[in-house]
Amino acid sequence: MSDIENVNAQIDRLLATASTSFKAENAAGYQEFQAEISALEGLAREAFQAKLEDMYWSILDKLEDGQPLTTAEHNILELLIVGEAKYYLKSENDVDNWRSELKRLVEEIKKQQLAGVDEIDSLMRLRALCREALRVVPDVAYYFQELERVRQFEEATRGAIDVETRRSLANLIKEMIESDQI
């Protein structure tokens, strides 16, 4: 079975699991759904690697030899290093909602402090507010981490790439080739 056929088969499994999970409304169903999403991401990563495999060797050679990259090679390098981040940033549309939710939760925490935190109910409410915030903060942090990664890449590769950056990029590509996390 080809990489793309595997991806399509996994999408079918994910859709079936999603349907079941949405109907069942229980933790086990959503945990299975999460596993299917993780499996799909892995297969998509492998298919991506296979599609670019022939291209990233020449880019690696050029980086190590100090040769300039063509525009097409620079675009492939960008896909390898920050492509996932760029696509995530393009598709993410909840950041404003997350930030609003965090601001709301901080206000609720302030209100709870003013009302007092010396009773069991107030402490439990405070804990609940904190748990809600802990659910949202990682999403916001991840968004800004990816935004910073893209900016750093763009700054490092704007114009001619210096020797140190070339070495870093070549090492990163080697690590990606050896890893299952490209």
Q: Domain map of the chain by residue range?
A: 69-159
Helix (H) or strand (E) holding 66: none
What lies within 8 Å, CB to CB, of 10 at 6+ separation is: 36, 39, 40, 43
**What is the chain's percent helix, strand, coil content, to nearest 5?**
85, 0, 15
pTM of the model: 0.85
Compute the distance between CA of residue 150 and CA of residue 134 in angstroms, rounded to an integer.
25
Which residue has 């999408």 as its token pair? Answer: 11
Of 135, 40, 136, 152, the residue nearest 85 (C-alpha): 152
Compute the distance between CA of residue 99 and CA of residue 140 in angstroms, rounded to an integer.
7
Of 92, 89, 77, 84, the residue nearest 154 (C-alpha): 77
Residue 174's pLDDT is 86
Radius of gyration of the chain, Cα coordinates, nearest whole angstrom: 22
Mean pLDDT, the chain cut into blocks of 10 residues (182 residues total): 93 96 95 97 90 87 91 93 96 97 98 97 98 98 97 91 89 81 56
